[in-house]
Amino acid sequence: MIDKFIEGNKRFIAEDFEQDKEHYDQLSQSQSPSVLWIGCSDSRVAPERVTGAKSGEIFVHRNIGNIVPVSDWNFATVLEYAIRHLKVDDIVVCGHSDCGAIKALSGKAGDDAYIPLWLDNAKPAMERAGEKPGTPEGEKEWRRKVEYENVRLQLEHLRVYPIVKWAEKMGKVELHGLYFDLETGDLSKIF
């Protein structure tokens, strides 16, 4: 697989990098993305790909379940850097359909040591969605509701961080909840 990536990189250089050399020369000196994107690690939801963004337009933080953990040093440094140093205008929390984290949230923990602890950051989303229905169609709709509620919850978690409270109050940043549908390819604003 790595050889495939190396070959893909050669195509990238020939078809993109060399064709837009001025843009990539600027990026080699500094970055100035306008958006902080908090998304899921799911390999099917690549932010630049689903938005059509160019390299350098999005500052990305991805994790299982597009979670904004409260009191997490790693995440706090991402926020601080994005807001204070990159001066992003927008912060996006993007959820998606068929999210494995949401499926795991509503299932049994199994033998995993870390995943259930991480998913505790999203449990209120499941509680807000109400009781899980007994039919496959109902369960699919319910999971989507949990995925939406998880985006809403993570936006609330963002507002716990003092840097975000300050930036919103000063009008320096706007928060957005987006949702990507894997079946249709549609990216929509939900909050």
What are the sequence ranges of the domains in the chain?
1-30, 31-189
Q: Rounded to a whole number, what is the distance in angstroms from the first to the last CA of the chain?
A: 38
Question: How many Cβ atoms from other residues are within 10 Å of residue 140's Cβ?
Answer: 13
Please report which confidence band the pLDDT of residue 111 belongs to, taking 50, 70 and 90 as the band edges.
confident
pTM of the model: 0.93
CB half-sphere exposure, 121, CA atoms < 13 A: 22
For residue range 56-70, list pLDDT tens digits in order: 999 999 999 999 999
**Does residue 96 have a known ligand-binding role?**
yes
H or E segment to which residue 151 belongs: helix 136-158
According to DSSP, the residues that pair with 177 across neighbouring strands are: 93
Q: In the predicted model, is pLDDT for residue 133 greater than 80?
A: yes
The residues that are catalytic are: 40, 42, 44, 96, 99
Measured distance CA(22)–CA(8) in Å, rounded: 21
Please provide the average confidence, as pLDDT, over all residues in the chain: 95
- Complete edge-to-edge strand list for the sheet that includes strand 90-96: 58-63, 35-40, 90-96, 174-180, 187-189
More confident site: 3 or 106 = 3
What's residue 180's pLDDT? 98
Q: What's domain 31-189's superfamily in CATH?
A: Carbonic anhydrase (3.40.1050.10)
Measured distance CA(91)–CA(169) in Å, rounded: 14
- Please check whether residue 63 is in contact with residue 41, taking contact to mean a CB–CB distance below 8 angstroms: yes
